[in-house]
Amino acid sequence: MASVSSPAPEAAHGVAPLRAGQGYSFVLRRLHSLSGIVPVGAFLFEHILISNSTAISGPDAYANQVRFLANLPLVFLLELFGIWLPILFHALYGFYIWYRGDGNTAAYPWSGNWMYTAQRWTGGIAFAYILWHTYTMRFTGVDLHADPNASFGKVQGEVMHTGLFLFYVVGLVAASWHFAYGIWLFSAKWGIVSGDKAQKRLLRLCLAFFLVLCGAGFASLYSFRSHMQEIGPGGSIVDSSHGLPRDARAGSVR
């Protein structure tokens, strides 16, 4: 009599567990999950909360941050192996998982399934935004590594356009959600946080982190639209919304 094997248990709330014994798939899923935190997540944390937030202090502060990053040792290799290739792997394998998976939001419309579906869509949107943003900032127009003083004006030229500004907003929200909820998925899949109560507390923290990322990003975008940059004598950066070079404004209050 032929034995009937019991089907594998379905994942709760649409989250596929990471199980050993699945060959290369297990290793690739582990790498995919890990790469979303380090280095991709670390890059988003730095890019949104540190580098872009310097725009709040004006064009000069933003140019100094771009200059600092451009002068890092082996900056091209750092970008290639620490940002571009990890993002490419994480995105392409994520699309593969999405293609192979079956959504169940209609059959089981609980919040976990909707958030997991949002994770897939925000990942796709964020990837498209990152590709476009990287291309326009790094490979078109002025080379910001060679001329950091032009960095604020280059971003500003895009966000002052209503359509591109809205694209920035959508890309920011998508990337922020994907990273914040990805922290919860990573912790649940790797067994770092177990138990319903602990996972619910972590979920609330991740949602709060999502709001922090969005808040910082929105403040940066507002700064790009509200500070008018001009290049003054000797290459000094003039915040024309105040009418004086930053150094001159600082000296006037001493």
Q: DSSP readout, 47-97?
A: IIIIIGGGGGG-HHHHHHHHHHHHTSTTHHHHHIIIIIHHHHHHHHHHHHH
Please give the chain's pLDDT, 254 residues, in tens. Answer: 444 444 444 444 445 555 544 568 888 999 999 999 999 999 999 999 999 999 999 999 999 999 999 999 999 999 999 999 999 999 999 999 888 875 555 544 566 678 888 999 999 999 999 999 999 999 999 999 899 999 999 999 999 999 999 999 999 999 999 999 999 999 988 999 988 899 999 999 999 999 999 999 999 999 999 987 766 555 556 665 654 444 444 443 33
Which helix (DSSP H) or strand (DSSP E) does residue 222 occupy? helix 196-226
CA distances from 175 to 10, 80, 118, 178, 230 (A): 28, 20, 11, 5, 31
Residue 228: predicted pLDDT: 77
The pLDDT assigned to 161 comes to 95
**Domains contained in the chain, CATH given:** 22-241 (1.20.1300.10)
The pLDDT value recorded for residue 251 is 41
Pairwise CA distance, residues 243 & 193, whole Å = 52
pTM score over 0.85: no
pLDDT computed for residue 63 by the predictor: 96
Tokens of 38: 């380090």
Give the pLDDT of residue 22.
58
Task: Provide the angle, in degrees to the nearest 10, between the axes of the packed helices 162-189 and 151-159.
Answer: 100
The per-residue pLDDT for 235 is 55
* Continuous segment of H or E residues that includes residue 40: helix 40-46
pLDDT, position 115: 83
Both structure tokens of 154: 């280059």
pLDDT confidence of residue 21: 45
